[in-house]
Structure 1
Amino acid sequence: MTTSTHEKRPNILLITVDQMRYDCLSLLGHPVIETPNLDELARTGVRFDHAYSATPTCVPARAAIFTGQKQTSHGRVGYQDRVPWNYDKTLPGELAKSGYHTQCVGKMHVYPARSLLGFHNVILHDGYLHHNRNKHSVPMQEHFNEVDDYLPWLRAQVPGADLLDLGLDCNASTVARPWALPEHLHPTNWTVSQSIDFLRRRDPSKPFFLWMSFVRPHSPLDPPQAYFDLYKDADFPDPVIGDWAMKEDPQGSGLNPVTSKGLVPKRRLRNAMAAYYALITHIDHQIGRFLQVLEEYGERNNTIIMFTSDHGELMGDHHLFRKTLPYEGSTHIPFIVNDPGDCLGLDKGNVVSEIIELRDIMPSLLEAASTEIPDTVEGNSIWDLARTNGKALERPWREYLHGEHAQGMDSTQWITDGWEKYIWYSQTGEEQFFNLAEDPGELHNLMDSPQAQERIHYWRSVLIQELEGREEGYVQDGRLVVGRKPVNILAHLRSNE
């Protein structure tokens, strides 16, 4: 590819964070958090305020990004590690074939861990993954020391250092303490430093695709001290607690540092919230650092920027924590696009209300790169929405999103259009219906409301249509069937293992 051709095709910077809530932007009027660089990207770009993760955990969310497919097609409807990633068409693969220099820095969370999935190169840090650390149960070649790039680098700076040194589990959503080493050694800084180095060593004759993939604000909640200090004395808003939520915790589940539900001691929860917000501000400042260097290389105005998260974090909403569940704190994600060189003609400062999902990333970025979109892709390009706010689309946008997550007794199926949400717990039969337009905190379950019955019946019928013919047997004779065994991986993907 010639330099002149490169000049006609923009670079693409995809920035993803792990486990960031949709509402953690100061631009949205959050009473505590500070995100100046993300605010500026949104102010001078386009923000999508109804972006969701259909299967809100790390592995299936990333499958949607890589393939552009809905969960029933990429086959991952729950969380399960060590299932091979054998997809023929991937976002980085298609961009590489079309002449882009492709690089990932940070989290991939694929299997085998060193799979390139179409990238020319991967500098890997998936965070602490138990299946890579359990020396008694996996082959040596899968040991974390062998597959990760960050830990060997860290040990070269601090001999003997390990990810466990702070005593925090990778899923300890309610236990926090500041990072004990110099800030430049933190995984967030490392991800940006390695991304900056890519700008130095990239092929200048090609446009680049860089996926800068942060592990934080996913736990461990370990922000550098300076960032923790920004929030340690803040007056945090209380988590939203629905009138349907648990009222008591007789088994003391909230005392478990890796709890997913329970009544957490107030001081511990406040520290966790301080650390969580601190990690987001830390990432924001490091994104600002990278954008300054991008400007120094003269590539800022020729780079399309997309920012999002793989899923959210409940952080005490309804006395729930982490992700997987269908509530807004878990499924609703931030989503910003920025086009400083006006390559795409976006309506800067626009806020789009149509519902989008992670599967829409692949067709959007391929279109931006003037690259053919494979027929395996089921997402839709978002650029017409970003130009017109949906007012002049050639065809109607999606009316709703079907989401789900297999998780034992907490397995759920759900439908939302961003304004209403219907939830079905497949193992217990419990149903919930929320009017998100009037009740964005999901405080009131309207299943018993006479005024809501027509809408409930409609959304239940939509879910039945989505689940018709599923291998789990969730639908029989046109009705939802309670208690059918959920699976994490659908049969067509299991057959490829």
Structure 2
Amino acid sequence: MKQKKPNILFIMTDQLRGDCLGIAGHPDVKTPYLDTLAAKGVLFSNAYSACPSCIPARAALHTGMLPEHHRRVGYQDGIAWRYEHTLAGELSRAGYYTQCVGKMHVHPLRNYLGFHNVELHDGYLHYARYGSVPYRESQHVADDYYYWLKEQKGISADPMESGLDCNSWVARPFPYEEKYHPTNWVTDRSIDFLRRRDPDQPFFLMASYLRPHPPFDAPAYYFDLYKDKKLTPPYVGDWEDTKLLKERGRIFDSLTGPEDEELIRQAQIGYYACITHLDHQIGRLLMALTEHELQNDTMIFFTADHGEELCDHHHFRKSLPYQGSIHIPLIISGNPELTGFAPHSVCDEVTELCDIMPTLLDIAGADIPDRVDGKSLLAFADGEGREYLHGEHSYGELSNHYIVTKKDKFCWFSTSGTEHYFVLEEDPHELHDRIEDPACRERIAYLRNCLIRELTGRPEGFTDGTSLIAGREYPVYLAEK
């Protein structure tokens, strides 16, 4: 029976920087399978996460809405996910069998968001392990990987015995055999889905990997690839100070990277090791498509929820408006007649995670809900992109907004009022803040007015319509209008 709709393999990663691909020109990281995927499809060079931390970024992915509309403008566990439409729900209605393997990071943990089935591994979630969460909502009960690991190894459902934390820059190899690593588990279960699928029904398979999100614990083989290699040091601009680094640089679970240069190097080794391990496991999954004779009938998407500062500008983790945090990889590979992009092409239009949902629905021939903010990336092949993207993140003293275009970026920290301006086309690593440059004054004023326009009418009172107002209360979840 000839399928009328293409299968969709959606590969999601967590905390992978947009520049950490070989094909993106990274000087150190090796990603042969992802490079192959991009060479057969299109790489979006200006893909961003509008609210760069796990929960709000995934809300954009699953709803196709920008933060102001899905209402998650910061990181907060325990808020129920209730939306009129979801990506998997719409594809299910369009006739797809929908399966997720790996990370969801929703509430409650076993909320399927319209998927027919979920095999869950969310990583280490503090909220779901301690405190007053119900028994059924404890990760010890709800997480399928932990259950599987306990059955396989006879150990407690806790892979943290290596002494690493889920937000830490401390790194060391995985303490068990590689086949027990959660990255391998996601691949194994995804491949098993290909074996079990109904061959007469199109599928949407979301292989949702946790790494390279900490812990940086790739198998030893991958650490060995980088441990003796000279690595490019983190990017630190001529505009920043070390105040926060001196306060926090000796705390392993920190907003900053470490002060110690050797610990910085170890963090880089661990992060890059996780990326190449991930790449090789994605290679296994791509080869399984070939074994199942699905490579010609399947559209493949690859992206991440947000990036990782990895000691750039002395910072660590995400949630900030700098490139390490907000710039993400995005690849579409498959039938060029469906995408409009020739193989080995690069699209420099400004794209965002909310664009994924309308793109997939477009490929599936399904209707796109009216409340979706995103744009189908298939239209971007004809140059129908956006002028700029407004991003934001509630983050305490570091709460921020940004306006980013193909060539530059304006940042505003809403608590302090601090502003930055970077000319990305000349300075992609944000080494020079030109906010005081007279030659840029007119452009800065234009981008500032774009932000004012985006924030006008917001409940926080960030603007009076003519200027930005710092110091306003900024909740992580906006009340429904």
Fold match (TM-score > 0.5): yes
Moved more, 23-32 or 94-103: 23-32
Question: Quick check: 1:411 aligned with 2:399?
Answer: yes
How big is each residue's C-alpha offset from its partner over 1:5-64, in whole Å with a ceiling of 9 and x where there is no partner? xx1210001101000011111123322111000001111110000000000000000000
| Equivalent in the alignment of 1:421 | 409
- Normalization by structure 1: what TM-score? 0.94
SS in 2 for 1:353: strand
SS in 2 for 1:436: coil
Question: Aligned pair in 2 of structure 1 residues 114, 270: CA closer, same or farther (>3 Å)?
Answer: same
1:61-76 to 2 correspondences below 5 Å: 61-76=57-72
Question: Quick check: 1:325 aligned with 2:320?
Answer: yes
CA contact (8 A) 1:421 1:433 kept: yes
| Equivalent in the alignment of 1:483 | 471
1:69-88 to 2 correspondences below 5 Å: 69-88=65-84
SS in 2 for 1:424: strand
Question: Quick check: 1:352 aligned with 2:347?
Answer: yes
Kindly state the Cα deviation for residue 233 of structure 1 after the two structures are TM-superposed: 1.0
CA contact (8 A) 2:257 2:310 kept: no
**Match of residue 187, structure 2, among 175, 185, 192:** 192
Question: Aligned pair in 2 of structure 1 residues 287, 477: CA closer, same or farther (>3 Å)?
Answer: closer
Kindly state the Cα deviation for residue 459 of structure 1 after the two structures are TM-superposed: 0.7
1:384-463 to 2 correspondences below 5 Å: 384-386=379-381, 388=382, 390=383, 396-463=384-451
Which amino acid in structure 1 is aligned with residue 357 of structure 2?
A: M
Moved more, 306-315 or 396-405: 396-405
Aligned mates of 1:137, 1:371 — CA distance in 2: 41
CA contact (8 A) 1:252 1:263 kept: no
Which amino acid in structure 1 is aligned with residue 242 of structure 2?
A: K
1:12-411 to 2 correspondences below 5 Å: 12-134=8-130, 136-161=131-156, 162-172=158-168, 174-247=169-242, 251-261=246-256, 263-340=258-335, 342-386=337-381, 388=382, 390=383, 396-411=384-399
Aligned mates of 1:299, 1:419 — CA distance in 2: 39
How big is each residue's C-alpha offset from its partner over 1:118-145, in whole Å with a ceiling of 9 and x where there is no partner? 10000000000001110x3322222111
Which amino acid in structure 2 is aligned with residue 376 of structure 1?
A: R
Aligned mates of 2:379, 2:465 — CA distance in 1: 40
Aligned mates of 1:462, 1:171 — CA distance in 2: 34
Aligned mates of 1:332, 1:414 — CA distance in 2: 12
Which amino acid in structure 2 is aligned with residue 108 of structure 1?
A: M
Which amino acid in structure 1 is aligned with residue 93 of structure 2?
A: K
Kindly state the Cα deviation for residue 477 of structure 1 after the two structures are TM-superposed: 4.9
CA contact (8 A) 1:53 1:333 kept: yes
Kindly state the Cα deviation for residue 340 of structure 1 after the two structures are TM-superposed: 4.8
Aligned mates of 1:98, 1:352 — CA distance in 2: 28
Kindly state the Cα deviation for residue 262 of structure 1 after the two structures are TM-superposed: 5.0
Paired positions, count: 480
Moved more, 440-449 or 182-191: 440-449
Kindly state the Cα deviation for residue 202 of structure 1 after the two structures are TM-superposed: 1.4
Question: RMSD of the TM alignment (CA)?
Answer: 1.3
In structure 1, list runs of 5 or more residues that go unmatched.
391-395
SS in 2 for 1:49: strand
Aligned mates of 1:410, 1:252 — CA distance in 2: 15
| Equivalent in the alignment of 1:393 | none
CA contact (8 A) 2:252 2:258 kept: no
Kindly state the Cα deviation for residue 263 of structure 1 after the two structures are TM-superposed: 4.6
SS in 1 for 2:206: strand
CA contact (8 A) 2:41 2:336 kept: no
Kindly state the Cα deviation for residue 418 of structure 1 after the two structures are TM-superposed: 2.8
Which amino acid in structure 1 is aligned with residue 104 of structure 2?
A: M
SS in 2 for 1:288: helix
